[in-house]
Amino acid sequence: MNLTSYLNAIEEADVYKRYGKVQRVVGIMIESVGPAANIGEVCYIHSAMNMNKKPVLAEVVGFHDEKVILMPYNEVTEIGPGCLVESTGKPLTVKVGRGLIGMVIDSLGKPLDQSALPKGLSNFLTEQAPPNPMSRPTISDPIQVGVKAIDSMLTVGRGQRIGLFAGSGVGKSTLLGMIARNSKADINVIALIGERGREVREFIEKDLGPEGLEKSIVVVATSDQPALMRIKGAYTATAISEYFRDLGYQVNLMMDSVTRVAMAQREVGLATGEPPTTKGYTPSVFSILPKLLERTGTNSHGAITAFYTVLVDGDDMNEPIADTVRGILDGHFVMDRKLAEQGQYPAINILKSISRVMNQVVTPEHLELAQQTRSLLAKYEDNKELIQIGAYKRGTDHEIDKAILYYPKIQQFLKQSVDERLTFEETFEKLKLLLNGGS
């Protein structure tokens, strides 16, 4: 019998328990003297009154004058001076496996409906390093998203990371639901961060539907949860995607919204004493974003195609989070309130959006057709005011005449109702027909 692995396990096992004592509670932070722990380590805080009570789970977020600063994952009331703090010696892990598919869980990986987790799951660290840039295969295949406007004009590559920039109520959740149901990915991991409780249920029942949930894992951290839980929701969803990528799955990760993750990090940053910089965001916000967003994409086993929604107030694309995220990702789709108001759904403004890998993943014929459509749209938009007030006389410019002729057909082609489904090939055929005089 080979005993080496057992002996190694004994050697590596930490047989000491490290304890500390709570000294002070300031707002959402708990200060304790000891235990010896590293940043990111999970600790149990035992109630001083009642040792049989379930301990509170907290994470080490900083140090101050040799004291440990802890932040609990959940709201706490029964914590006071002298409470025992026990270090687990490990950062946060969640249980992952095929059994999770179809479930709705919280940031710590527990089912939201309080049911028991299925058997056979493995422990997986929520914080992982991004894949080595040298071992990342380049993106070369398109992936069907099942939304006409995207598959035709803004084709997404397998393993691409995209930002969906939109204000409130312009159709983000509906679009993510359509992608989850229609795309060719093997599994969807959907992180709902900072939403209201009502919206979560609406998304799962209405936008995703039973058919979408069947091949999805939904991670939920609502707006009323502590900031740390909202941040962990993003990490947990990313870790679950990584687990399935390593098994060779094609994964879709959707995070709604990355702005709310940044806001939660700002809360934690300010509470631990970081200085506020642009728009009150603390430096750590700008350091965690690239680390989080770089984890998705391709690695040598599989690919995570990721969609991150970014909230833009009043369509201000230069807001610090929007600006940072746009710089990290491989494409941005802009959703426009004007289009939504006209009933032009999905409200994607094609001219303002870009898929940076489209050139690499589609055929030259497809690229050519998409470019022609784009220039017709641009020509119309450039002259829109003249055309609409009737100041443009037909026949003056051949190109503008053509744009006027095609504009309504293109708009009609880009429109898609919530339950309309098309394959990538069907969309391409429609695009061909559109420019060859059909509709």
Ligand X SMILES: Nc1ncnc2c1ncn2[C@@H]1O[C@H](COP(=O)(O)OP(=O)(O)OP(=O)(O)O)[C@@H](O)[C@H]1O
Instruction: Give the footprint of ligand X on this chain (CB under 6 A).
Output: 166, 168-174, 345-346, 416-418
Nearer to Mg ion, 2 or 168 (CB): 168
Would you count residue 238 as binding Mg ion (CB under 5 A)? Answer: no
Q: How far is the CB of 300 from ligand X (least distance, A)?
A: 35
Could you give the angle at the alpha carbon of 106 between the alpha carbons of 104 and 107, nearest 5°?
A: 135
- Least separation in angstroms between residue 260's CB and Mg ion is 11
Q: Provide the token pair at 35.
A: 């235990």
Residue 257 touching Mg ion (CB under 5 A):
no
Nearer to ligand X, 223 or 272 (CB): 223
Cβ-Cβ contacts under 8 Å for 275 (sequence gap 6 or more):
282, 283
In whole angstroms, the minimum distance from the beta carbon of 175 to ligand X comes to: 6
418 binds, among Mg ion, ligand X, none (CB under 5 to 8 A by kind): ligand X
Q: Quick one: which H or E segment has residue 162?
A: strand 161-166
Contact partner at residue 380 from Mg ion, ligand X, none, CB < 5 to 8 Å by partner kind: none
52 binds, among ligand X, Mg ion, none (CB under 5 to 8 A by kind): none
Q: How far is the CB of 173 from ligand X (least distance, A)?
A: 3
289 binds, options ligand X, Mg ion, none, Cβ within 5 to 8 A by partner type: none
277-286 CB contacts, 8 Å cutoff, 24+ apart: 278/320, 279/319, 279/320, 281/320, 281/321, 285/321, 286/320, 286/324
Nearer to Mg ion, 20 or 194 (CB): 194
* Closest CB to Mg ion: residue number: 173
CB of 309 to Mg ion, least distance (A): 8
- Residue 60 touches which member of Mg ion, ligand X, none, C-beta under 5-8 Å by kind: none
CB 76 within 8 A of CB 56: yes
> Should residue 373 be labelled a site residue for Mg ion when binding is judged by CB under 5 A?
no
| CA dist., res. 60 & res. 164, Å (int) | 33
For residue 25, the partner it binds in ligand X, Mg ion, none, with Cβ less than 5 to 8 A by kind, is: none
State in angstroms the smallest separation of the CB of 419 from Mg ion. Answer: 18
State the angle between helix axes of 258-271 and 227-246 in degrees (0 to 180), rounded to the nearest 10: 130
Nearer to Mg ion, 84 or 312 (CB): 312
Cβ atoms 416, 147 nearer than 8 A: yes
Beta strands 161-166 and 303-311: pairing type?
parallel
The listed partner (ligand X, Mg ion, none) that binds 210, CB under 5 to 8 Å by sort, is none
Task: Identify which of residues 295 and 337 has a Cβ nearer to ligand X in the complex.
Answer: 337
CA torsion 224→229→234→239, rounded to 10°?
Answer: -150
Nearer to Mg ion, 172 or 379 (CB): 172
For ligand X, the closer of residues 324 and 416 by Cβ is 416
Spacing of C-alpha 280 from chain mean position: 22
Q: Which is nearer to Mg ion, 71 or 339 (CB)?
A: 339
Taking the complex as a whole, how short is the minimal distance between the CB of residue 323 and ligand X, in angstroms?
A: 20
State the nearest-atom distance from the C-beta of 181 to ligand X, in Å.
12
Q: Which option in Mg ion, ligand X, none does residue 390 bind, with CB closer than 5 to 8 A by kind?
A: none
Closest distance of CB 68 from ligand X, Å: 38
- Does 355 interact with Mg ion (rule: CB under 5 A)? no
Ramachandran category for residue 433: left, alpha or beta (phi over 0 → left; psi -120 to 50 → alpha): alpha
C-alpha–C-alpha distance, residues 354 and 139, integer Å: 16
Tell which residue, 94, 107, 42, has the closest CA to residue 68: 42
Q: Give yes or no for a contact between 122 and 305, defined as CB atoms under 8 angstroms apart.
A: no
CA 260 to chain centre: 10
Tokens of 347: 């409200």
Calpha distance 361→188 (Å, rounded): 22
Note whether 309 binds Mg ion by CB under 5 A: no
User: Could you say which of ligand X, Mg ion, none residue 345 binds, taking C-beta under 5 to 8 angstroms by partner kind?
Assistant: ligand X
Please check whether residue 168 is in contact with residue 311, taking contact to mean a CB–CB distance below 8 angstroms.
yes
Kindly tell me which of 59 and 315 has the beta carbon lying closer to ligand X: 315
- What is the token pair recorded at 318? 């230069």
Work out how close the CB of 212 gets to ligand X at its nearest, in angstroms, rounded to a whole number: 14
Strands 216-221 and 187-193: parallel
Which of 131, 171 has the CB closer to ligand X? 171
Interface pattern 149-188 for Mg ion (x via CB under 5 A): -----------------------xx---------------
Interacting residues toward Mg ion by CB under 5 A: 172-173
